[in-house]
Amino acid sequence: MLKAAFAILAGFPILFAQTQTGLTKMGHSIHGETYDVGPRQKPWLMDGIGTEHFPITTSNPEAQKWFDQGNALLASFWDYEAERAFRWVLKLDPDCAMAYWGLARVTDHNGDKERRTIALREAEKRMSKVTERERMYIRAWVDHYREDPTAPKTEKERDDVFRRRLEEICWKYPDDFEAKSLYALANLGDGNHLGSNALLDEIIAKDPRHPGANHYKIHLWIGPDATHALDSSAIYGDIAPGIGHAQHMPGHIYSHVGMWNEAAISMDKATRVEAAYMRDHVAFPFNTWNYAHNRNYLCYIQEQLGMADAAIQGARSLLASPYDPKYNKEKNSNRPGKVALLRVLIRYERWKDILDSKDLKWTDDIEDKMVKEHAQALAHIGLGQIPEAEENIRKHQELKKEVEKDENKWLTPVYETQAMEIKGRLMLAHGDTLNGLAALSDAAAKESKLREDDNDPPFYANIVYDSLGRAYLDHKSPSLAVVAFEKALAEVKNDGFALAGLAEAYHAIGDIEKARDACGRLLYVWAQADPSLKWMERVKALGLKAEPRDESPRKQRIYRSAELASYGPLLWEPYRAPLLDAVDSKGKRVTLDEYKGKNVMLIFYLGDECPHCLDQLVQLAKRAPDFSRESTEILAVSKNSPEHNRESLKMGEVPFRLLSDEKLENMKRFLSYDDFEDLELHSTILIDKNGRVIWSRNGGDPFTDFDFLVNQIKRANQM
């Protein structure tokens, strides 16, 4: 077979390009390559997603059910699963205009302009077949994105047109909650918080469990006025318990108001719900859009609760997650995990761990370089290793010109904050107290501005006002320490480090009542903190005899992670491989049990008639020794019969087994089949020595980045 494949690929490329277009596109969507991405398997009826009924014109009554599922999922921004539902609507009713409108909304969210254009074009073709209300919805999106010469030129003009179209639907159909909620969503960024809030409250008053209205209200009030969204935060997770984002969003609000126990419950649930989804539906962190954000945020909240060890474990689980060269490249794949780990290590002054950690793999990316030098400078100063710190600071200074080349300009304020912080800390280490405190004060103000712009969760490791307050305490200026710690509490409500510092500072100036108050608040926030944290030990040594006291706008439950296990696992793990039950060229049954203790790479290909499949197998044959060295067996599966494979093998030696899956049962179990178009797909799947899937790619083109695959197997072998 391989000799024949070489002949085809070497001798007939022009023939295939000109006369075999259909063959060269085998495995690709009939709608074009833009539809090779996204879900390819049929949906299932999902519980716990909320209800948003949206009547549509359809020739198939079952299509309405799936459209409603897609619409409910869109209300919680779960675009990927919403797309699955809308694609199934088109399977049932290929002429459904609103299914195309739904697909346009999905691609609108993820910024896929080409797919959005195709979907809107198809929706517009069918506008004459639907009701006036549906036409108005389609027209709103078409007018928003049309690109003819008379179309609005600027983004603001486009948004204004879009809002006017939605407004027209609201006026004409005053009982249409979908139009009103989408209109409020479209207005979230215009500054008219009261107007949007009034519209959402009107919907909630009539339908308290409307997922979209409660969700959008939370987004509306993220920030300093987060208390306005507490009612929606209390109910949204219960409205859609099966959606990770619905559990996640209340955590934003609770974090902003300092309700750290409630925030942890929300983010813990969100992480578990998404981990359960990945486990049950063969997905990975790199194609589950909110998982890394959930886990990073939960780590941050656990830090706030004094649970440093739990935060470190969570960060390391993120760092160990698989990545993908297309969806989440290696140098960026672990950024949330790296941010989470550095944040907890710096805040809890685990200086040796920063310098010795094998989890922190630094790249040549400019952001990575500046973060590395900043973190290591802090660590060396913390350990009293001043010459080493000075070397880190020198390297950090050398990055300035490279930072200034950053086109987005967002790195510059981060770099300047880092530079001022390590400068101030180094001055203090050298005994230059006044200049050191001044520099640290400047850094604290800069970090406060960064936190204002991006605090969900913060990417800058520490609250510098906490560090400034501690420096004032160390230099016998408790009154100034009080000011710094109060500023930290204004930035981050109920911050444990600031409360601990306040207790010490007030005690030092003789205000025992305020010291006791800060101590009581700390005892509540850090009720489940790791034992023997030095900040807590210093406060306990003051003998203040305080009782735990919660200063939050609402009563909180106590966060106990183990009690949330019913929502799913807290840590992502590779999932158990589906059943492989195929036949080799000799008619022998083959299962994964035969390969216990070895890694397996499964290649699903489309048969000898698919030239790019043969190209993949030819390349793979050359690399077979690389996989063998990593204790990895290769199995290539197609619908070709054993007899066909036996004849192919006569044409050349193949260093791996060819398996038959004539009924396509294995392809379907391993998601190598498109249910919407009844189409076989190319798939590459890595299974570890324990029979767990550690990585996979299903889609239009065969995967041929064999260096990546070898590295993934090496990574698995080391775990």
Confidence of residue 22 (pLDDT cuts 50, 70, 90): very low
260-567: CATH, from 3.40.50.920, 3.20.19.10, 1.25.40.10, 3.10.20.740:
1.25.40.10
- Residue 19 has what pLDDT? 31
In angstroms, rounded to a whole number, what is the distance separating the alpha carbons of residues 404 and 370? 12
Query: Which DSSP letter does residue 205 get?
Result: H
Task: Calculate mean pLDDT across residues 576-585.
Answer: 96
Average pLDDT rounded to a whole number, residues 392-398: 98
Q: Write out the two tokens for 164.
A: 């006017």
- Beta partners for 105? none
Query: What class does CATH assign to 47-173?
Result: mainly alpha
Domain layout of the chain by residue ranges: 47-173, 260-567, 575-718
Which tens digit of pLDDT belongs to each residue from 375-394?
999 999 999 999 999 999 99
| Nearest one of 242, 241, 239, 237 to 254, comparing CA atoms | 237
> What does the pLDDT look like over 211-223, one tens digit per residue?
999 999 999 999 8
Instruction: Tell me yes or no: is domain 575-718 CATH 3.90.700.10.
Output: no
**Beta strands 589-590 and 582-584: pairing type?**
antiparallel
Say whether 260-567 and 47-173 share the same fold: yes
Q: Tell me, what's the pLDDT at 329?
A: 54
In whole angstroms, give the CA distance from residue 372 to residue 392: 9
Task: Inform me whether the pLDDT recorded for 441 exceeds 80.
Answer: yes
pLDDT number for residue 288:
82
Higher local confidence (pLDDT), 409 or 600: 600
Beta strands 632-638; 657-660: pairing state: parallel
Write down the pLDDT at residue 23: 40
Band (1; pLDDT cuts 50, 70, 90): very low
Least confident among 75-84, 134-143, 607-616: 607-616
pLDDT top residue among 256 and 571: 256
Q: Is 458 left (phi over 0), alpha (psi -120 to 50) or beta?
A: beta
Strands of 632-638's sheet in order across: 575-576, 692-699, 682-687, 599-604, 632-638, 657-660, 582-584, 589-590
- Counting beta carbons within 10 angstroms of the beta carbon of residue 531, is it exposed (0 to 12), middle (13 to 18) or buried (19 or more)? exposed
Residue with more model confidence, 324 or 641:
641
Beta-bridge partner residues of 673: 680
Give the residue carrying structure tokens 């090779």: 36
Beta bridge partners of 584: 659
Q: Over the stretch 330-340, which tens digit does the pLDDT of each residue have?
A: 544 578 899 99
Residue 511: what pLDDT? 97
Q: What is the pLDDT of residue 181?
A: 97
Which range of 17-26, 36-45, 435-444 scores highest in mean pLDDT? It is 435-444
pLDDT of residue 14: 28
pLDDT at 128 over 80: yes
Residue 701's pLDDT band (boundaries 50, 70, 90)? confident
Question: What is the average pLDDT across 267-274?
Answer: 97
> Using H for helix, E for strand and C for coil, what is the string for 325-378?
CCCECHHHHCHHHHHHHHHHHHHCCCHHHHHHCCCCCCCCCHHHHHHHHHHHHH
**pLDDT at residue 491 in the model:** 93
The pLDDT of residue 328 is 64
Mean pLDDT computed over 366-378: 96
Buried b (16+ CB within 10 A) or exposed e, 414-453: bbbbbbbbbbbbbbbbeeeeeebbebbbbbbebbbebbee
Q: Is the pLDDT of residue 25 over 90?
A: no
Distance from C-alpha of 270 to C-alpha of 266, rounded to nearest angstrom: 6
- Which ranges constitute the DSSP H helices of 386-533? 386-398, 400-404, 411-429, 433-453, 464-474, 478-491, 496-508, 512-525
Average pLDDT of the chain to the nearest whole number: 91
3-state secondary structure of 695: strand
The single-letter code of the amino acid at 546 is A
- The whole-angstrom separation of Cα 299 and Cα 415 is 24
Query: What does pTM read for this prediction?
Result: 0.92
Poorest-pLDDT segment among 11-20, 135-144, 179-188, 271-280: 11-20
What pLDDT sits at residue 454?
67
| Beta carbons within 8 Å of 445's beta carbon, 6+ residues apart | none
The percent of residues in the chain predicted with pLDDT above 70, rounded, is 94
Task: Give percent of the chain above pLDDT 90.
Answer: 78
- List pLDDT tens digits, range 297-324: 999 999 999 999 999 999 999 998 888 8
Give 183's contacts (C-beta < 8 A, 6+ positions apart).
Answer: 163, 166, 167, 169, 170, 199
Rounded to whole angstroms, the Cα distance separating 108 from 116 reads 6
Instruction: Please write the tens of the pLDDT for every residue from 514-530.
Output: 999 999 999 999 999 99
